[in-house]
Structure 1
Amino acid sequence: MSPVIVTRAISTVGPTLKAGLFALALGGFVLSAPHGAAAQVTAFKQAVAEAASASDPVAQFYRETGYTAIWTGSDDAARARRAALFRALGEAPMHGLPDRTSEINTLMDVLRTVQTTRDLGRAEVAMSRALVGYASDLQTGLLQPRQIDDGIVRKKHQPDFAAYLAGIRDQAPVAYLRSLAPQSAQYQALLREKMRLEALQRAGGWGPQVAAKKLESGDSGPAVIALRNRLIAMGYLPRSAARRYDGALERAVQAFQSDHGLTADGVAGGGTLAEINKPVSARLKSVLVAMERERWLTPERGTRHVLVNQTDFTAKIIDNGEVTFVTRSVIGKDNADRRSPEFSDEMEHMVINPSWYVPRSIVTKEYLPKLRNNPNAVGHIEITDSRGRKVNRATADFSKYTARTFPFAMRQPPSRKNALGLVKFMFPNKYNIYLHDTPQKSLFQREVRAFSHGCIRLAQPFEFAYALLARQTENPKDFFHRILNSGKETKVVLDQKVPVHIIYRTAFVTPKGQPEYRRDIYGRDAKVWAALERAGVVLPGVQG
């Protein structure tokens, strides 16, 4: 087959067959060519070295492997690698990544125009760069979290470029490239949910939206019919011709509310109808954002770990992939300086009967203005100097201090009224975030629980402590209460540190396979989606 015929053939077939045809196009420029082999090898190495110089990880790989080609040989292994890479690049949108058609076409042009051994070296490096770029995006995420929102302070795990190249060289290429996607059960479930929603897109969505402000048991009319039909389309209600808001419709509304973090009262009020009326496109965006967020998380979550999903207002203990404890939580208020950050760390100890050492930001922004007006304000808080001595409020002149010059610290001693309650769980971090008890128990009955200064409050802190202590003491409840009843501030070190992952997911799939959605309380997912769009992720147009 002449080069011209090969070129024409390549332009008319899919990526898999194209990759096979490139073996014919490259046949005259393989390193094992019998004529002038030494010169060709030298020219190839020089070309690889020059082309890879701008990409240190790729250059290092070739230096360490003696500039051995992994893509541009004429052997079956090289052909299989090329075919697998083109197939993987073509499937990038399946994972919510940008379409790579232009990159595929560029690589094809590079391979198609090979005329010399030096061209072949440059083609070799172009293929390697395409692999590490795709693999990095797929395995660790397309975006840099910290560039999106100040509260997303998560550190991504670093991609290993050399390992990607060694992997494609040493393993079955198709299987290896598939293994690069996160293997967590959550990612795979989100991928299935993405495909389900895309099928719904093609089928026209969930039908007309519900035009009403509130619907409840006993109501009838066009809005009730629209609600019924939409819930049928969503899978919450079997097909029915009922025209009234009956018991079946009420139960379907309750199920929807439960799956969307709403109060499951069976009444379709404004908040519930707003969620019911969200189009398929909105849910698909949430899933694509959740997939990107899942790529940011380290694959080593810990066989036992604590998972706090801010949008779900829950804290869970996960053991070997199963939820073994769950409690409601309160997170930071939706103010610029109070939103809870997203990050991972390790829990090292708990403090029973804790003091609350008031953060400097709260001291200067909230308490100092009160003290200026009344030195006896916030009397439940002790004021101490730099040597830890209690300040006499009667003789202190707080009016002369500014937020910058205020020299004192503030502490609330242990008590049932302490802002931290009776126990706190520490994973020391520079954001001064931890999990703790609270005397404000009524807040856990709210639907949206964003009230704190940033720390995570737990509805069942004692039970949480028992679960953590169960692995290091025979009777964790007695152990805990013996210390609690002493009234003394006591640090209890965990025998084994427990990873803590504070995440933000508006879309997730339960262990039973049920997709659930939550509201974007801090507006962070909207920012992530905007960043994904800027990076080239495309959402097909859909109907509601």
Structure 2
Amino acid sequence: MFSISATRFRAVLLGVSLCLGLTGLWNAPAQAQVTAFKQAVAEAAARDRDLAAFYQANDYQPIWTGASDADRARRAALFEAIAAADSHGLPVARYDAEGLMARLKVARSPREAGLAEVEMSRTFLRLAREMQTGALIPSEVDGDIKREVAYRDRGSYLTSLIQSSPRAFFRALPPRSNEYARLMKEKFRLESLAKTGGWGPKVPGEALKPGQSGAAVVALRNRLMAMGFMGRSATQTYDESMMIAVQQFQMAHGLTPDGVAGPGTMAQVNTTVSDRLKSVIVAMERERWLNQELGARHIIVNLTDFNARIIEDGQVAFETRVVVGKNTGDRRSPEFSDSMDHMVINPTWHVPRSIAVKEYLPKMQRNPNAASHLRLYNSRGQQVSRGAVNFNAYSASSFPFSIKQPPSQGNALGLVKFMFPNRYNIYLHDTPAKSLFERETRDYSHGCIRVQKPFELAYELLSPQEADPKGKFHSILNTGRETRVNLEREVPVHIIYRTAFTSAKGHMQYRRDVYGRDAKIWDALGKAGVSLHAVQG
């Protein structure tokens, strides 16, 4: 990994400037030298459309290798940004700072300077884009990460750079969100902790509970103190203070806060600094993927947290537990962003074909009256009597009917669904299966997001456009008829997946990697060149 001291960095830059001959190369009046430089730039940039277009528009003038103060400032800022890339959890070796410096040092002719010029720009474009929108392409890591990254036109990075203060330009590239800043702070904290031994020895055993004492309890006490969940204590008994500390730990890790260190809690307590650091670095990459305007009022659904929140002007205006897609087959909830534009009160459930033929057709083949709450419709939209259908005559591919469930208290969608039309047919909705919300891990759906407090969510969404949102909602609900209610202001919805996230106050939040996606991202980052400094437990 590239690492260079500030003193050596300045010395190398000075050497680069001198070796480039920037004291004389560009002051030489010979037209031949200018022509040789431009020809080299045109040749080296030709295989990159964006670079070729930029240099053509810029008359093939240097922006890095010239003798001007502006060129020197840009060179310095680029090498400083490369040196800082590791702080952002980026694959610093990709940018090959030492190779660039070596190339600059041997550039003693206009042609060599022209080739170095384009290589500087090529490295700059890669670093700038990856610092702003991530080092990985989300869909290539996992097919269920449908995140469409708002990539900036590559040429605009170059044009913006030459019109800006170089250092200010690089400072503006990473996400400016409070979340990113806090994640970076946590990264530094964990790296510092690692140098001093981490959180100490792991806690032996599978479970501990209040009233117990002994070496394992002392180890748990010490680890809770090291993690900041418990003040200094000499207790050797799992007393009330330790139980409160365990509860605080559990709340910061999405666990049921019962104060008992059961197997699930012990597994999280014994998670290493190294693994937490990986989660933070992955979260920073994910934050870069979402480096865009989220909306003054928007909904965040964090799949690992099993929670949905309305964020308004940076503050949580509403939150509710949710159930997400089951961790199997094609039922995992995807990650993407879209805009909610309406809700449907008293919805009809249009059973997705995959569910109709995989789950309900086999049942009706065994018993034509199975799932009697569902109705069959032909291609013309006419209801069909089950008695007129020989279900065994059809296969999953030939089954010609659609299946629907009319509005009712027992409807699979409950009494309201919240629509942000998307190609994945994912939305938020009520559910009659209320008991699932009491579980610690809540991945049970077919992919859509089930909401624990759907009515309250509806009131909140209607509040900007209705004087009495609750009254309006229930006046429609009480009709029992399916009714679409448009939102006058669309609300962006961001379905995210964060195993590490922050809060403005309180402890860092960590969650389990329910779908294993963050493990895939870390593996991809590792292959790209991201690595951890030596860390301990």
The TM-score range, normalised by the shorter chain, is: over 0.9
Residue 14 of structure 1: CA displacement? 2.3
Residue 477 of structure 1: CA displacement? 0.7
TM-score, normalising length from structure 2?
A: 0.97
1:269-280 to 2 correspondence within 5 Å? Answer: 269-280=262-273
The structure-2 alpha-carbon separation of the partners of 1:172 and 1:11, relative to structure 1 and needing over 3 Å to count, comes to closer
The one of 448, 466, 475 equivalent to 1:455 is 448
The one of 8, 17, 25 equivalent to 2:19 is 25
- Which residue of structure 1 aligns with residue 280 of structure 2? 287
Distance in 2 between residues matched to 1:497 and 1:11, nearest whole Å: 50
- Which residue of structure 1 aligns with residue 91 of structure 2? 98
The one-letter amino acid of 2:252's match is D
The one-letter amino acid of 1:190's match is L
On the 8 A contact 1:414/1:487 being kept in 2, the answer is: yes
The structure-2 alpha-carbon separation of the partners of 1:386 and 1:30, relative to structure 1 and needing over 3 Å to count, comes to farther
Distance in 2 between residues matched to 1:317 and 1:190, nearest whole Å: 21
The structure-2 alpha-carbon separation of the partners of 1:402 and 1:178, relative to structure 1 and needing over 3 Å to count, comes to same
Deviations 1:241-274 (A, max 9, x none): 1010101000000000000000000000000000
Matched, 1:151 2:151: no
Distance in 2 between residues matched to 1:514 and 1:299, nearest whole Å: 26
Corresponding residue pairs, total: 534
Residue 12 of structure 1: CA displacement? 11
Residue 32 of structure 1: CA displacement? 4.3
More displaced stretch, 101-110 vs 250-259 = 101-110
The one of 205, 210, 215 equivalent to 2:203 is 210
The one of 403, 408, 411 equivalent to 2:404 is 411
On the 8 A contact 2:147/2:336 being kept in 1, the answer is: yes
Residue 27 of structure 1: CA displacement? 2.8
Structure 1's consecutive aligned runs of 4 or more residues displaced over 6 angstroms after TM superposition are none
- Which residue of structure 2 aligns with residue 3 of structure 1? none
1:7-86 to 2 correspondence within 5 Å? Answer: 14-27=8-21, 32-36=26-30, 38-86=31-79
- Which residue of structure 2 aligns with residue 190 of structure 1? 183
5+ long unaligned stretches in structure 2: none
Distance in 2 between residues matched to 1:82 and 1:336, nearest whole Å: 50
- Which residue of structure 2 aligns with residue 181 of structure 1? 174
SS in 2 for 1:20: helix
Matched, 1:430 2:423: yes
On the 8 A contact 1:15/1:90 being kept in 2, the answer is: no
On the 8 A contact 1:329/1:444 being kept in 2, the answer is: yes
- Which residue of structure 2 aligns with residue 398 of structure 1? 391
1:103-502 to 2 correspondence within 5 Å? Answer: 103-502=96-495
TM-score, normalising length from structure 1?
A: 0.96
On the 8 A contact 1:92/1:100 being kept in 2, the answer is: no
Q: Percent identity?
A: 55
Distance in 1 between residues matched to 2:313 and 2:130, nearest whole Å: 27
More displaced stretch, 250-259 vs 24-33 = 24-33
- Which residue of structure 1 aligns with residue 504 of structure 2? 511
Distance in 1 between residues matched to 2:219 and 2:369, nearest whole Å: 60
On the 8 A contact 1:168/1:176 being kept in 2, the answer is: yes
The structure-2 alpha-carbon separation of the partners of 1:127 and 1:513, relative to structure 1 and needing over 3 Å to count, comes to farther
Calculate the aligned-residue CA RMSD, in Å: 1.6
The structure-2 alpha-carbon separation of the partners of 1:468 and 1:328, relative to structure 1 and needing over 3 Å to count, comes to same
On the 8 A contact 1:15/1:83 being kept in 2, the answer is: no
Residue 33 of structure 1: CA displacement? 2.1
5+ long unaligned stretches in structure 1: 1-9
- Which residue of structure 2 aligns with residue 6 of structure 1? none
The structure-2 alpha-carbon separation of the partners of 1:469 and 1:101, relative to structure 1 and needing over 3 Å to count, comes to closer
Residue 13 of structure 1: CA displacement? 5.6
The one-letter amino acid of 1:219's match is Q
SS in 2 for 1:348: strand
The one-letter amino acid of 2:439's match is R
- Which residue of structure 2 aligns with residue 5 of structure 1? none
SS in 1 for 2:129: helix
On the 8 A contact 1:16/1:87 being kept in 2, the answer is: no
The one-letter amino acid of 2:302's match is N
Distance in 2 between residues matched to 1:11 and 1:215, nearest whole Å: 47
On the 8 A contact 1:328/1:460 being kept in 2, the answer is: yes
Distance in 1 between residues matched to 2:352 and 2:29, nearest whole Å: 76
